[in-house]
Amino acid sequence: MAWLRELAGTDIIRTNQRTDGWGRLKLDEFASIHKWTKGRQPEQWQRSRGVVLGIGDDTAVVELPEAAAGSGAWQWLLAVDTMVETVHFNWTTMTEEDVGYKALAANVSDIAAMGGLPQHALVSVSVPRSFEPQRMSRFYDGLYACAEQYGVAVVGGDTTSSPQHLVVAVTVTGTVEADRAVRRSGARAGDAVFVTGPLGMSAAGLHYLLAADSGASGHGLSGRSGSPDVPAAAAAEAAEAAEAAGAAPLVRAHRRPQPSVRAGRLLLSRGTCRSLNDVSDGAASEAWELAEASGVSIVLREDWLPRSGSLASYAASVGVDPLEWMLYGGEDYVLIGTMDKHDADAAKSELNGQGIPFYRIGEVEEGEPGVWLSEGTGKKRTAVPKRGYNHFE
């Protein structure tokens, strides 16, 4: 950071700033990074995350964070997730702030899915040449909002241009008590299956935003695609329309997922949670991953699946079966897992007592890896296909 701080006040940076034919200020790479990240997280706070050297050198230097050091053996968790404009978002479904927030949240969710504590992030952005600097500042406003909420120190990244679309790849670290990380492979016959939040809301929110954008109702951030900048008024207007249509909770779930870090920590500390996964590609697909990794069969109870009122009423209004979104929609970023069924009620009380949702949704059985949906206590069950979001379909 020090060299950036020094440079920021010098002519080297100033002479590298120029305006193009469109009157837009073009910052050079270093000045941009400085602008996006400077002063966002106090050095003192980063120090508590073990950061010895943050943004500004060839690498960051970190040691085990205070919370982990001196309290027994810990291990690192490492993960990366990417968001690509047109694949994970477009400018009618998300604002710049939303993209920044969600890019980090999706990674924090992977740490939560191991029962860990998120610690550091590296942020790689490939920015279209036509982007105004202001838009990336807004991206970082959202990213740092998520970092603050989950206590993540942003310690570096990479910046390149992109011929057309914005691409964001965030790498995170987390910490977990040695050999306690909750894997996908620990489910056992007899376990209770649970989720830590409602399902399908993000997919319904996306449906609302895309329908709005296609002109059906005109509620999205319409007119934004390809436009250089969005007047804040357009976003505010779209938010009001979503509120009026009862779709606000769905849109919020899509744009600002809330990864279940506290749930993951509490479940790990109970010692009875045997498998965990986060729901990015859809509950069916994640349940299949648990079933295959553990060599078990998972039976979901249709009447136990948590369905929010806003999901049910929006689905009815557009003639979609809400189960489609709940099982195959994705981007819920809640946890799905299995645990000793004798501890399930106590776990539910503990989590609910702390304001954290916990829903028992089924059970684990012996058998060929697979996922089934049962209508009630009866024996009738239907096979749940291994279907979800697939990047290559």
Ligand X SMILES: Cc1ncc(C[n+]2csc(CCOP(=O)(O)OP(=O)(O)O)c2C)c(N)n1
Q: Cβ 325 to ligand X, closest distance in Å? A: 10
> Which of 60, 81, 121, 261 touches ligand X by CB under 6 A?
81
Which CB atom, from 260 or from 374, has the smaller least distance to ligand X? 260
Residue nearest to Mg ion (CB): 81
Q: Which CB sits closer to ligand ADP, 183 or 341?
A: 183
Q: Which of residues 212-271 bind ligand X (CB under 6 A)?
A: none
Q: Among 96, 97, 213, 331, which residue sits at the site for ligand X (rule: CB under 6 A)? A: 331
Token pair of 63 as six digits: 């040691």
Burial of 316 (0-12, 13-18, 19+ CB in 10 A): exposed
Nearer to Mg ion, 81 or 98 (CB): 81
Q: Which is nearer to ligand X, 93 or 275 (CB)?
A: 93
Footprint on residues 91-110 left by ligand ADP (CB under 6 A): 110
Q: Is 93 in the site for ligand X (CB under 6 A)?
A: yes
Could you give the C-alpha distances from 116 to 38, 151, 178, in angstroms and in order? 28, 13, 11
- In the complex with Mg ion, the residue whose CB is nearer, 380 or 391, is 391
46 binds ligand ADP (CB under 6 A): no
Please report, in range form, the residues annotated as the binding site for substrate.
88, 331, 389
- Binding-site residues for Mg(2+), in ranges, read 58, 81, 110, 158, 278, 281
Rounded least distance, CB 317 to ligand ADP, Å: 31
Binding residue positions for ATP: 140, 157-158, 184, 280
Site string for Mg ion, 64-103 (x = CB under 5 A): -----------------x----------------------
Residue 265-304 contact track with ligand X, rule CB under 6 A, x = bound: ---------------xx-----------------------
d(CA 224, CA 228): 8
In angstroms, give the least distance from the CB of 134 to Mg ion: 30
Whose CA is closest to 66, among 47, 86, 82? 47
Q: Does 37 bind ligand ADP (CB under 6 A)?
A: no
> Considering CB distances under 5 to 8 angstroms, the limit depending on partner class, which of ligand X, ligand ADP, Mg ion, none binds residue 96?
none
- Reduce the secondary structure of the chain to three states and give it as a string: CHHHHHHHCCHHHHHHCEECCCCCEECCHHHHHHHHHCCCCCHHHHHHCCEEECCCCCCCEECCCCCCCCCCCEEEEEEEEEEEECCCECCCCCCHHHHHHHHHHHHHHHHHCCCCEEEEEEEEEEEECCCCHHHHHHHHHHHHHHHHHHCCEEEEEEEEEECCCCEEEEEEEEEEECCCCCCHHHCCCCCEEEECCCCCHHHHHHHHHHHHHCCCCCCCCCCCCCCCCCCHHHHHHHHHHHHHCCCHHHHHHHHCCCCCHHHHHHHHHHCCEEEEEECCCCHHHHHHHHHHHHCCEEEEEHHHCCCCHHHHHHHHHHCCCHHHHHHHCCCCCCEEEEECHHHHHHHHHHHHHCCCCCEEEEEEECCCCEEEEECCCCCCEEECCCCCCCCCC
Smallest distance, Mg ion to C-beta of residue 107, A: 9
Name the residue among 335, 375, 377 with its Cα closest to residue 357. 335
Partners of residue 364 on adjacent β-strands: 298
Q: How far is the CB of 57 from ligand X (least distance, A)?
A: 30
Shorter beta-carbon distance to Mg ion: residue 208 or 328:
328
Amino acid sitting at position 41: Q
202 near ligand ADP (CB under 6 A)? no
Residue selected from 41, 46, 119, 280 as contacting ligand ADP according to rule CB under 6 A: 280
Region near ligand X per CB under 6 A, out of 19-27, 88-96, 343-351, 353-361? 88-96
What CA–CA distance (Å, rounded) separates 283 from 362? 12
For residue 171, state whether it binds ligand ADP (rule: CB under 6 A).
no
Annotation: binding site: 58, 81, 88, 110, 140, 157-158, 184, 278, 280-281, 331, 389
- Binding residues for Mg ion, rule: CB under 5 A, are 81
- Binding residues for ligand ADP, rule: CB under 6 A, are 81, 110, 280
- Binding residues for ligand X, rule: CB under 6 A, are 81, 87-90, 93, 106, 206, 280-281, 330-331, 389
